[in-house]
Amino acid sequence: MPTLWNKGTQATSYVDEFTVAGDRVLDNVLAKYDVIGSKAHTTMLESIGLLTNDELKQITAALDDILLDIEAGKFTVEPEVEDIHSQVELILTRRLGEVGKKIHSGRSRNDQVLVDVKLFLCDEVKQIREEVLALFDTLQGLSEQYKDVLMPGYTHLQVAMPSSFGLWFGAYAEALVDDMHMLAGAYHVVNQNPLGSAAGYGNSFPLNREMTTELLGFETMNYNSIAAQLSRGKSERAIASAIGSIALTLNKFASDCCLYMCPNFGFIHFPDNLTTGSSIMPHKKNPDVWEIMRGQCNRILSTENQIALVCSNLPHGYHRCSQLLKDILFPSLEHIHECLFMAKYMLENIEVNTKILDDDRGLYDYMFTVEEVNRRAQNGMPFRDAYKTVGIEVNEGRFYYDHAQLHHTHAGSIHNLCNDKIKAKMTIAAAFL
């Protein structure tokens, strides 16, 4: 098996299988970024005299060809090759001979994989940012569309106080603002160039790390070589925390939708082709999309803890167990993309019950008790006395409130949603790119 560490001996097939495992598949995700990192690195090597200009042209042209194969889906890590780094160097050596063997000067697989992962994660954050913004806009649009449609609010899953669809949709839009701040924080943790730290202690070549930082588009570098290696695990955990925050928002919204789709509530509805049926009960229209989303988001929430457990109790420097982080984080990134897409897709087809309060069973009459208590308090009755008298009327079945007179004025209430201010908050939060 071709490896970058071969010194005349090879690992047994058992050791190979155990240590490499699914890396050959997972590394395909990083292939593009390995080539991009290698192009920047070899450009820098030429600038400090470790490659001739002709050698650089040969390597760059070959790397560009590999990149075209990657983009066309024609690239794979061969079964007998250890990882993406070995595969790229092997292809270059096959095509260019001795010249291809020069690209590893001044770097280690340790900083090479760090570059690949960081470039990949930066692109992932950019894509997630756009998906969050798209969902945010959808939620804000629904908030405005249904701002005058009242619905019950709940505490302890008991009817509590008046709410509205405008308030409900708008709440999740604003929650995404907090998630965007988390995403921005993770982006700044990741967006630092580790290239040149080699195995964690730098090296004796006069590397121009400022040059590779600029070429690769990083906003800064991990200056201390040891700190660069310490970022392995920290970068993944920062991203996991950010997507976990988004997952928590989606998880709660999915739970709401499962509840509100239940005929006992009947607050929202989706077209039949967006629900699923039962193998035995002909009438069923199940919220499977929201249930799967809820479950997937719980899995995403576990990602940060899994990463922490892999990285805990390790002394500084590289350890092979860091390889396991890809198998933990990469699937969760796929799931958050899917969940953000499906949430927006479903919401584009949501049907809102605009007549919830017309229920003739009086299920929601008592959600206005606080309104009546407050009305009496505004008219001069001590709040505690107002609370008691309204409570007595409820117990005696005499309570009545005309919800047509309902009017909330403070910022963030039913009749003052502040969606424009929430939009301004999101614009600030999303400005990290």
The answer to which of 7-21, 196-210, 252-266 has the lowest mean pLDDT is 7-21
Residue 94 lies in domain: 13-102
Tokens of 146: 């249904």
Comparison of pLDDT for 268 and 312, the residue scoring more: 268
What pLDDT band is residue 65 in, cutting at 50, 70 and 90? Answer: very high
Collapsing DSSP states into helix, strand and coil, what is residue 350? coil
Whether residue 136 sits in one domain with residue 22: no
Q: Within a domain: residue 1?
A: no
Residue 402 belongs to a domain: no
User: Is the residue at 89 inside a domain?
Assistant: yes
Q: Which of 83, 102, 121 is the last residue of a domain?
A: 102
Residues 40 and 122 in one domain: no
The structure's pTM equals 0.92
Q: Is residue 135 domain-shared with residue 198, that is, in the same domain?
A: yes
pLDDT band of 5, cuts 50, 70, 90:
very low
pLDDT of residue 309: 93
Q: Which residue, of 102, 125, 142, is where some domain finishes?
A: 102
Residue 21 has pLDDT above 90, yes or no: no
Least confident among 15-24, 217-226, 272-281:
15-24
Let me know if residue 422 belongs to a domain: no
Q: Is a pLDDT exceeding 90 seen at residue 381?
A: yes
Res. 7: pLDDT tops 60: no
Do residues 122 and 270 share a domain? yes
Residues 38 and 134 in one domain: no
Q: Is the CB of residue 66 less than 8 Å from the CB of residue 35?
A: yes
Let me know whether 157 and 283 are in one domain. yes
Number of domains forming the structure of the chain = 2
Domain co-membership, 37 together with 123: no
Is residue 22 over pLDDT 70? no
At 356, is the secondary structure helix, strand, or coil?
A: helix
**Same structural domain for residues 73 and 217?**
no
Q: In the predicted model, is pLDDT for residue 6 greater than 60?
A: no
Q: Are residues 284 and 227 in the same domain?
A: yes
Cβ(272)–Cβ(287) below 8 Å = no
Do residues 226 and 170 share a domain?
A: yes
Same domain assignment for residues 71 and 197 = no
- Does 147 share its domain with 291? yes
Instruction: From 102, 121, 145, give the residue that closes a domain.
Output: 102
**Beta strands 220-221; 192-193: pairing state:** parallel
Cα separation, 123 vs 182, in Å, equals 16
pLDDT(149) > 60: yes
Q: Within 13 A of 172's CA, how many CA atoms are on the CB side? A: 32
Note whether residue 66 is domain-resident: yes
The reply to whether 381 falls in a domain is no
